[in-house]
Structure 1
Amino acid sequence: MSTSKSPSPPPSSSSSASADAVPPTANPSDIKRLLSAAFIGTALEWYDYFLYGTAAALVFNKLFFPDLDPAVGTIASFITFAVGFVARPIGAAIFGHVGDRYGRRTALIITVVLMGVSTGLIGLLPGYGSIGIWAPALLATLRFLQGISVGGEWSGAMLLTLEHTPKEKHGSYSAVPQLGSPVGTLLSSGAFALVGMLPDEAFYSWGWRIPFLFAFVLLLVALYMRLRIEESPVFKAMMADSEKNGPPPAPLIEAFRRTWGRILIGVAAAFLGIGGFFLLTTFIISYGTEQLGIDKSVMLNATLVGAVVEIGVLFVGGRIANRAGPWKVCVVGGIISVLAAFPTFWLVDTRETPLVVLGVALGIGAISIPYAPIGAVVSGMFPENFRYSAVAMSYNLAGVISGFVPLVAASLLGLSGGASWSAALLLILIAACTAVGSYFAGPQLRRRLGHDPSKQHETSKAIA
């Protein structure tokens, strides 16, 4: 297990170039251990997060909002689901500060513990019938803590990975933490598919709790892996420089003061990978079971197949990004997702199991193209002295909007009389945002990374 001394504050922006020019980790075994830790920890985070989304679609409306009309109960469940996304910018601010001042590794250890514990406790919650209004209140509280954790997780895992590895391979290496998303989906959907085979009485009584309690086991594995990794060489250089330059302004304030335009670009670029995914998993499960009458096992299995497809797309998309450039892959992926939106829902509307599975897999596969290199796109726009804060805020502001996507989709579905064209149009809007945001990220990446890193000196001003 690696150890490190308590770091000093990072340097001011005047010395940022020297830290950014630090050579990446060269030892293959160190890189392998780092990538494994980033992947496993992120898989736990997304297992826990997606688990809640699946339960919100299938269970929570019945157990925590039993007195409401089924449709209203589903919307209430999705509101608690959205609470986690509202908490994400708070987590981004907290862990962005920790990551920029005290280390990427320190922040990641805290986030994984917070997520594992809060998810496991959901599995111990009594229902509305036992403690009344306290049940949904406690559920929302634990969901809020999940959101705080995720607010710092993705950005930290991505930065620790990219700051250890050479820039010419950032496309493929940035896809490694992203693998936590489909693997987390496989684990959460697979766990619910297994307990979903129980009789309804057993499933709603205790079966749904098992996947949440399993988070305690995954936490031990992820924590062990995270404790064995070294701090980012870029952050180590920042610690050394801080002895000469003193502490900079607060990272989050500096990020918004100097690069608020780039933060908005990052929000748009990241939107499809988060909002589109929840539209094609959380919402589509509810749509298929509640609106179309498709058995929940079919919808869960469809998301499993979609997750397998996503794994393959992430590998391919990351490799292509090494050659073509991450932002170009994100633009093309957004356009492909626009084209796939209506066919995805047309296939699900057939209610034929093979076509339902194909539709979900098509949609998830399309939105996974820009998801592969998005970490390289967003992180590449910011200097390292406030990079954690800026990346976390970009990604999690997109997450706030995305948290309401299932709720908005369900509401639009009601207004359209249950017609899926409303959800397809919503997916098109989300995909277009990512294509446009990624296009505008291109000049920022060329400006920061298109010349010798050793000569970089961050003097960029905010984009109006």
Structure 2
Amino acid sequence: MSSSTAPPQNQIQLRRAVASSFLGSLIEYYDFLLYATASAVVFNRVFFSNLDPAVATIASFGTFATGYLARPVGGVIFGHFGDRLGRKRMLILTMTLMGVSSFLIGLLPTYAQIGGAAPVGLILLRVVQGISVGGEWGGAVLMSAEHATSRRGLWASFTNAGAPCGVVLSTLALSGTAAAVGEDAFLSWGWRIPFLLSVVLLAIGLFVRSRVDETPAFLAVKQASARKRLPVVAVLRDQPRTLLLSIGVGLAAFVAQSTLTTFVLAYGVQVGHGRQAVLNSLTVSSACAVIGIIWWSAASDRFGRRPIVLAGALVMAVYGFVLFPLVDSGSGALLTLALVLGQGVIHPMMYGPLAALYTELFDTESRYTGASLGYQLSGLGAGLSPLLFAEMQRATGGHSTVAISWTLAGFCVLTAVCILALKETSRRDLTSAKTVVSA
């Protein structure tokens, strides 16, 4: 049945599901990536002020990485209960956890106030953030994809589009606060304001999410099956190859994402760009990324997921060698161009179709768990790459980025190999019992 002939109630629920997924993703990634931006420009001076600046930056990126390490845990926990109890319940819980943990970061004392307990508290709250976003993404994507009766790539992509919207909102919140209160006040207390505002976004998100019904695919499986096996066991036993390939498919997208949104922030300031100029460039490129993600995802409905993701990986492998010379140029315009091309055009080719792709790879009974595991395990690339790249820079005295470009290219090649090893998924029926797709 096409969306044009679907009953009005189905259309209403699809619109609500898409809006809920987009808004939920925006809020989750506002909180999650607010931390990413702060780790690049604030936390090294607030929570690691006792360390050498280069080491402090590495330590700050280390706490950033812990959130990504915790994401697969969240995927397993919330995936399990999402496959057993339903998508909607878990999404309300993940949003609440993220909003509360981000609010508490805004209240956390600094190293100067309580010493070593400050970074410990920061890490613990970052772990809660990671667990929350690890459970959020899979459920949000499934809410849109399982409500859709056509153009699944387009509708599911709004979850992924929420991530760069979260970047825009978080960078605007940080840069706006810095401009309003001044540099000294910003480092003293102003950085807390964007974190404290999370509680307002939480209230809005919970209201919207409460109005969405459970997905038809889940309800059908719930009525037809006792689902005796644990979802994670079903994924690991029935679809291990699919899971491994899904991890490889997403790795390059996450490494590139973190390079463009986190590492380049610190690197741009290091080579002489003003912090505000870098944040402005990131904001512009993130806004472009929203359009790019939706555009390329819609294209994947027509041309297939594999061709779009493959093309993006190959182009990004080459672009990694262009990115840093553009940043090194010292020109603000070229910095913005570098980020717009990378984050707004090339990266969405790899990242946008992943929402529908991961949904289509796994069986209905274990889809929340399988999609979450594949996506979040590949997401480790985003958490660890800034830490790895910062250490590469320190080892070379900060004078060369060639090794970083080669590393990015290597991940892109891995993604290309993995996407070629999977069959096309865009025509799969999500209501069927099995969706085994690996070649």
- TM-score, structure 1 as length reference: 0.89
Rounded to whole Å, the distance in 2 between the matches of 1:461 and 1:322 is 17
C-alpha displacement of 1:211: 0.7
Summarize the Cα distance change of 1:138–1:453 in structure 2 as closer, same or farther, 3 Å threshold: closer
Rounded to whole Å, the distance in 2 between the matches of 1:374 and 1:251 is 21
Determine whether 1:387 maps to 2:367: yes
Rounded to whole Å, the distance in 1 between the matches of 2:94 and 2:43 is 25
C-alpha displacement of 1:401: 3.2
- CA distances 1:378-419 after superposition (whole Å, capped 9, x unpaired): 221111001111111111111223211100111112233321
Determine whether 1:69 maps to 2:52: yes
Partner residue in 1 for 2:347: 367
Partner residue in 2 for 1:281: 261
Matching residue within 378, 383, 390 for 1:410: 390
Determine whether 1:136 maps to 2:119: yes
Matching residue within 194, 204, 207 for 1:224: 207
Q: Is the 8 A contact 1:327 1:374 kept in 2?
A: no
**Structure 2 gaps, min length 5:** 1-5
Rounded to whole Å, the distance in 2 between the matches of 1:140 and 1:371 is 27
C-alpha displacement of 1:279: 1.0
Partner residue in 2 for 1:10: none
C-alpha displacement of 1:253: 1.1
**Structure 1 gaps, min length 5:** 1-22
Determine whether 1:271 maps to 2:251: yes
C-alpha displacement of 1:343: 1.6
Rounded to whole Å, the distance in 2 between the matches of 1:77 and 1:314 is 29
Query: Mean alpha-carbon deviation: is it higher for 422-431 or for 348-357?
Result: 422-431
Q: Is the 8 A contact 2:67 2:383 kept in 1?
A: yes
Q: Is the 8 A contact 2:54 2:394 kept in 1?
A: no
Matching residue within 170, 187, 199 for 2:152: 170
* Number of residue pairs the alignment of both structures matches: 431
C-alpha displacement of 1:199: 2.3
Letter paired with 1:83: T
Partner residue in 2 for 1:304: 283
Q: Is the 8 A contact 1:24 1:164 kept in 2?
A: no
Partner residue in 2 for 1:5: none
Q: Is the 8 A contact 2:361 2:435 kept in 1?
A: no
- CA distances 1:287-334 after superposition (whole Å, capped 9, x unpaired): 1112x0211001101111111111121121022111101222111111
Determine whether 1:103 maps to 2:86: yes
Query: Mean alpha-carbon deviation: is it higher for 413-422 or for 219-228?
Result: 413-422
Determine whether 1:156 maps to 2:139: yes
Written as runs of structure 1 = structure 2, the 5 A alignment for 1:18-417 is 27-166=10-149, 168-197=150-179, 198-242=181-225, 246-290=226-270, 292-365=271-344, 366-417=346-397
Letter paired with 1:34: A
Partner residue in 1 for 2:410: 429
Summarize the Cα distance change of 1:298–1:235 in structure 2 as closer, same or farther, 3 Å threshold: same
Rounded to whole Å, the distance in 1 between the matches of 2:161 and 2:389 is 26
- CA distances 1:134-171 after superposition (whole Å, capped 9, x unpaired): 100000000000000011111110011100002x4112
Summarize the Cα distance change of 1:458–1:37 in structure 2 as closer, same or farther, 3 Å threshold: closer
Q: Is the 8 A contact 1:172 1:318 kept in 2?
A: yes
Q: Is the 8 A contact 1:342 1:424 kept in 2?
A: yes
- CA distances 1:349-383 after superposition (whole Å, capped 9, x unpaired): 10111111111111112111121111111221111
Rounded to whole Å, the distance in 2 between the matches of 1:106 and 1:228 is 12
Q: Is the 8 A contact 2:364 2:433 kept in 1?
A: no
Q: Is the 8 A contact 2:296 2:308 kept in 1?
A: yes
Summarize the Cα distance change of 1:433–1:26 in structure 2 as closer, same or farther, 3 Å threshold: farther
Summarize the Cα distance change of 1:299–1:460 in structure 2 as closer, same or farther, 3 Å threshold: closer
Rounded to whole Å, the distance in 2 between the matches of 1:57 and 1:157 is 28
- TM-score, structure 2 as length reference: 0.94
Q: Is the 8 A contact 1:156 1:388 kept in 2?
A: yes
Q: Is the 8 A contact 1:257 1:462 kept in 2?
A: no
Q: Secondary structure at the match of 1:380?
A: helix
Letter paired with 1:400: L
Q: Is the 8 A contact 1:191 1:211 kept in 2?
A: yes
C-alpha displacement of 1:427: 2.2
Identity %: 36
Summarize the Cα distance change of 1:150–1:190 in structure 2 as closer, same or farther, 3 Å threshold: same
Q: Is the 8 A contact 2:254 2:381 kept in 1?
A: no
Q: Secondary structure at the match of 2:147?
A: coil
Q: Is the 8 A contact 1:413 1:422 kept in 2?
A: no
Q: Is the 8 A contact 1:252 1:390 kept in 2?
A: yes
Rounded to whole Å, the distance in 2 between the matches of 1:62 and 1:374 is 36
Q: Secondary structure at the match of 2:422?
A: helix
Letter paired with 1:298: A
Query: Mean alpha-carbon deviation: is it higher for 52-61 or for 418-427?
Result: 418-427
Letter paired with 1:78: F
Summarize the Cα distance change of 1:429–1:25 in structure 2 as closer, same or farther, 3 Å threshold: farther
Determine whether 1:442 maps to 2:423: yes
Q: Is the 8 A contact 2:58 2:390 kept in 1?
A: yes
